[in-house]
Amino acid sequence: MVVLKISNLTVAYPERIALQNVSFEMKNPALLAVIGPNGAGKTTLLKTMLGLIKPISGTVEILGMNPFKEGAKVRRIIGYVPQRERIDPTMPVLVKDVVLMGRTPKLPLGAWFRTIDLEAAKEALSLVGMENYWDEPYIHLSGGQQQRVLIARALASNPKLLLLDEPFAGVDLTSRSLILDVIRHKVKEGVGAIVVSHNPEPASIADLVLLLNVEVMAFGSKDDVLKPELIQSVYGMPVILGLPNLSGDDHV
Amino acid sequence: MECPLFLGYPIYLVMIMFEFFSSPLILRALLALVISSIMTAVIGTFTVLRGLSTMGAAIAHASLAGAVLGVIIGIEPVLGAFLLSIVFALATAYVGEEGGGRMDILLGVSFGFSTSIAILFISMLSAYTVAAWSFLIGDVLGVTEGELAILFAFTVASICLVIVFYKEFKFITFDEEGAEAMGLRVRFIHYFMILLIAIATVVALRVVGSILTVVMLVAPAAAAYEFSHSLERMIILSVLIAVISSLSGFFISIRANVATSAVIGVITSITFLLSLILSTKRRKCACRLVSPVRLVKEKQTAFKKHVPRCSQATLEKKT
């Protein structure tokens, strides 16, 4: 079954067109990096895939399902990691609370977490190397650790597809390498992963790369897409791509 | 046999206290205070964390308008407050979502709107201005048995609903976008929370009045926030602060013969201001990240994971 198929997708807000005639396909579970400058429509693409934004035209198919018709069903098989800056870190929650949120949509109203949910949450937390932080307040963690906890939350839901919005932004070197290892591990287990980033860096470690700037500028393997002249035409400046596990800096 | 003098005063005090607490008026007032404190503290926690304090104030004035309307049309004022506050709260939430404008402006206007309706209804009252006044500044000593039963029923029902929706409330309060993306019906849960805020304002209306309802809703929870790293702790602390503040406010006001709601308002506000000064959270945020013991433990784990294993003999050879 095709993991993701997007055909002729056009999305518009009242003031501007966010995506125009976007088409691409992920046949087998792989790591797809969606890169493009700010305003390229990356987050809009994620939200459209989740069925939260309705397009003007075009279709989206996730594991054989239409998110605009079966939105709730699609969203329950997706592990979503939002941009960390959108979450108020001062909220009084513990790490275990955050990870268990990944199990919440799986339970009916009023039902409390079962042993199986606690085990899934603990396992997800240990996958990101944070098992010792179960009872720790979320606010006490560093940016990278908070990001790892958010990824653990997505993993705790046993997703079939991972959507990660800027997972490497403002993250330290250790966390960056760990996050990448976890994503790779999940892809090997048959979970598709889509990493959205304004920075082209994640593209250098992806199986597939989508270069987006409202329209699809290029799609294919990293060798096909990461051509200096192509990247420069989209970003408007020369870009040097570095490997995330070698350098902690963003090379844009 | 005469009672010794040193025993006389304590016995006198006990008798006075016994008489005080055996009065149905005082008992009803104390129960109303405890009930409304628990209700506003629990709901206030989510109100504060979701930034809905202004909405709470606007709804409180809508419930005042509803109570006065109840007096005008001859129904139980609490029920009038309940109906109008719910209609107003849901309408404001709906316009806020559908209108797409700035929420602070909408809340400012809706606050003015609900207050205007309340004043309009009060001006229509001719003989019952005392009733209107009691809803404006509260009249805990005037709570009747019927009203107490309604407040109790509202509170029990609301707390049960908070327990049912607890994990969903926690998720959308922490990360609304993530909750929606992972399949929660965020809109429905948000509206439900607004509904509970409306009920909380109705419960507090009779006790502290519409003007001070927002203080009861916000101050204990905001004070508890300064000393809490988990939602459960924040709720418990918030309830404790609210109950202690309102009971101490009640006793002080009786002793000083002043308005109870005003003293409760002053005490809860001072508690909040003190919490800002004494906040352990703000001080700890900057300096405490990880305990040293855990740091050592993690370094050891990382070492074991990443350094190739070698036997003790090899190590000795190398050294």
pLDDT band at A202 (very low <50, low <70, confident <90, very high): confident
pLDDT at A115: 92
Q: Are residues B298 and B157 in the same domain?
A: no
Flag if B179 and A101 touch (Cβ within 8 Å). yes
Other Cβ atoms within 10 Å of B91 Cβ, number: 12
In angstroms, what CA-CA distances link A103 with A77, A106, A114, A115?
11, 5, 10, 11
CB pairs under 8 A between A and B: 105
Q: Is B101 helix (H, G, I), strand (E, B) or coil?
A: coil
Lowest mean pLDDT among B111-115, B222-226, B313-317: B313-317
Q: Are residues B54 and B179 in the same domain?
A: yes
- Choose the closest CB to A52 out of B49, B168, B180: B180
CATH code at B192?
1.10.3470.10
User: Which structure tokens are listed for A73?
Assistant: 């069903």
Residues B238 and B37: their CA atoms lie apart, in Å, by: 9
- Mean pLDDT across B61-67: 88
Domain end among B209, B228, B256: B209
Residue A204 has pLDDT above 50, yes or no: yes
- Choose the closest CB to A157 out of B180, B182, B234: B182
Q: Are residues B195 and B299 in the same domain?
A: no
Q: Are residues B169 and B23 in the same domain?
A: yes
> Residues near A82 by Cβ (< 8 Å), separated by ≥ 6?
A150, A165, B175, B177, B178, B181
Number of domains in chain B: 2
Flag if A104 and B178 touch (Cβ within 8 Å). no
The continuous run of DSSP H or E covering A134 comes out as none
Query: Is B217 domain-assigned?
Result: no
Q: Are residues B299 and B186 in the same domain?
A: no
pLDDT band at B300 (very low <50, low <70, confident <90, very high): low
Lowest mean pLDDT among A23-32, A126-135, B19-28, B138-147: B19-28
Tell me what the pLDDT averaged over chain A comes to.
86
Residues in chain B closer than 8 A to A163 (CB atoms): 181
- A140 in contact with B, Cβ within 8 Å: yes
- Long-range CB contacts (within 8 A, 24+) of A202-206: A202/A33, A202/A35, A202/A168, A202/A244, A203/A33, A203/A35, A203/A241, A204/A241, A204/A242, A204/A243, A204/A244, A205/A31, A205/A33, A205/A180, A205/A243, A205/A244, A206/A30, A206/A31, A206/A32, A206/A33
- Choose the closest CB to B168 out of A78, A104, A132: A104
* Interface test with chain A among B167, B168, B172, B275, by most A beta carbons within 10 Å: B167
Task: Map tokens 């958010």 to a residue.
Answer: A150
> How far away is chain B from the Cα of A241, in angstroms, using its nearest Cα?
26
pLDDT band at A242 (very low <50, low <70, confident <90, very high): low
Flag if B289 and A82 touch (Cβ within 8 Å). no
Angle A169-A175-A180 from CA coordinates, rounded to 5°: 80
Residues A18 and A250: their CA atoms lie apart, in Å, by: 26
Lowest mean pLDDT among A120-134, B121-135, B156-170, B184-198: B121-135
Return the residue of A nearest to B185 by Cα. Answer: A72
- Nearest alpha carbon to residue B243 among B30, B32, B37: B37
> How far away is chain A from the Cα of B245, in angstroms, using its nearest Cα?
23
Residues in chain B closer than 8 A to A110 (CB atoms): 163-165
Task: Give helix B186-225 / helix B145-164 axis angle, nearest 10°.
Answer: 110
Domain end among B209, B240, B266: B209
Q: Is A212 helix (H, G, I), strand (E, B) or coil?
A: strand
- Mean pLDDT across B80-100: 84
Q: Are residues B56 and B195 in the same domain?
A: yes
Judge whether B228 and B234 are in contact, CB under 8 Å: yes
Domain end among B183, B209, B235: B209
DSSP state of A88: -
- Mean pLDDT across B170-183: 92
- A101 in contact with B, Cβ within 8 Å: yes
More confident residue, A57 or B283: A57
Q: Is B75 helix (H, G, I), strand (E, B) or coil?
A: coil
pLDDT band at B6 (very low <50, low <70, confident <90, very high): low
Query: Is B52 domain-assigned?
Result: yes
Return the residue of A nearest to B235 by Cα. Answer: A92
- Choose the closest CB to A104 out of B163, B167, B177: B167
High-pLDDT (> 90) share of chain B, %: 39
Residues B280 and B164: their CA atoms lie apart, in Å, by: 31
Query: Is B98 domain-assigned?
Result: yes
pLDDT at A3: 87
- A105 in contact with B, Cβ within 8 Å: yes
Query: Is B219 domain-assigned?
Result: no
- Nearest alpha carbon to residue A66 among A43, A49, A45: A49
Residue B222 has pLDDT above 90, yes or no: yes
- Mean pLDDT across B54-83: 86
Query: Is B221 domain-assigned?
Result: no
- Nearest alpha carbon to residue B162 among B31, B46, B48: B46
In angstroms, what CA-CA distances link B308 with A99, A178, B298, B304, B312?
31, 18, 17, 8, 13
- Mean pLDDT across B260-287: 82
The continuous run of DSSP H or E covering A163 comes out as strand A161-165
Residue B52 has pLDDT above 90, yes or no: no
Give the alpha-carbon dihedral of A179, A185, A188, A194, to 10 degrees: -20
Q: What is the pLDDT of residues B91-114, one digit of tens each?
A: 888 887 776 667 777 778 888 888
pLDDT at B265: 92
- Mean pLDDT across B167-183: 93
Flag if A78 and B181 touch (Cβ within 8 Å). yes
Residues in chain A closer than 8 A to B178 (CB atoms): 80-82, 87, 101, 150, 153
pLDDT at B40: 94
Q: Sign of torsion, CA A181 A170 A133 B291?
A: positive
Residue A180 has pLDDT above 60, yes or no: yes
Gyration radius of chain A over CA positions: 18
Query: Is B106 domain-assigned?
Result: yes
Q: What is the pLDDT of residues A110-140, one digit of tens each?
A: 888 999 999 999 999 999 989 999 999 999 9
User: Which structure tokens are listed for B266?
Assistant: 């002053």
* Interface test with chain A among B165, B182, B290, by most A beta carbons within 10 Å: B182
Q: Are residues B38 and B185 in the same domain?
A: yes
pLDDT band at B282 (very low <50, low <70, confident <90, very high): low
Judge whether B238 and B41 are in contact, CB under 8 Å: yes
* Interface test with chain B among A109, A158, A166, A178, by most B beta carbons within 10 Å: A109
- A58 in contact with B, Cβ within 8 Å: no
* Interface test with chain B among A104, A118, A125, A126, by most B beta carbons within 10 Å: A104
Range of the domain at B158: 5-209
Residues B166 and B43: their CA atoms lie apart, in Å, by: 11
> Please, which residues bridge with residue A196 across strands?
A34, A165
More confident residue, B43 or B212: B43
- A93 in contact with B, Cβ within 8 Å: yes
- Choose the closest CB to A132 out of B170, B173, B297: B297
Q: Are residues B203 and B297 in the same domain?
A: no
Q: Which amino acid would we find at residue A207? A: D
Query: Is B273 domain-assigned?
Result: no
Lowest mean pLDDT among B68-77, B101-110, B182-191, B217-226: B101-110
Return the residue of A nearest to B297 by Cα. Answer: A132
More confident residue, B240 or B255: B240
User: Which structure tokens are listed for B212?
Assistant: 């001070």
Residue A239 has pLDDT above 70, yes or no: no
Flag if B181 and A110 touch (Cβ within 8 Å). no
Q: Are residues B202 and B297 in the same domain?
A: no
Q: Are residues B164 and B305 in the same domain?
A: no
In angstroms, what CA-CA distances link A102 with A45, B122, B150, B170?
22, 50, 38, 12
Q: Are residues B164 and B17 in the same domain?
A: yes
Q: What is the pLDDT of residues A79-102, one digit of tens each?
A: 999 988 888 888 999 999 999 999
Residues A179 and A168: their CA atoms lie apart, in Å, by: 8
Residue B314 has pLDDT above 50, yes or no: no
User: Which structure tokens are listed for A219?
Assistant: 């799609």
Flag if B174 and A94 touch (Cβ within 8 Å). no
Q: Are residues B87 and B201 in the same domain?
A: yes
Query: Is B285 domain-assigned?
Result: no
> How far away is chain A from the Cα of B314, in angstroms, using its nearest Cα?
29
- Choose the closest CB to B289 out of A90, A101, A140: A140
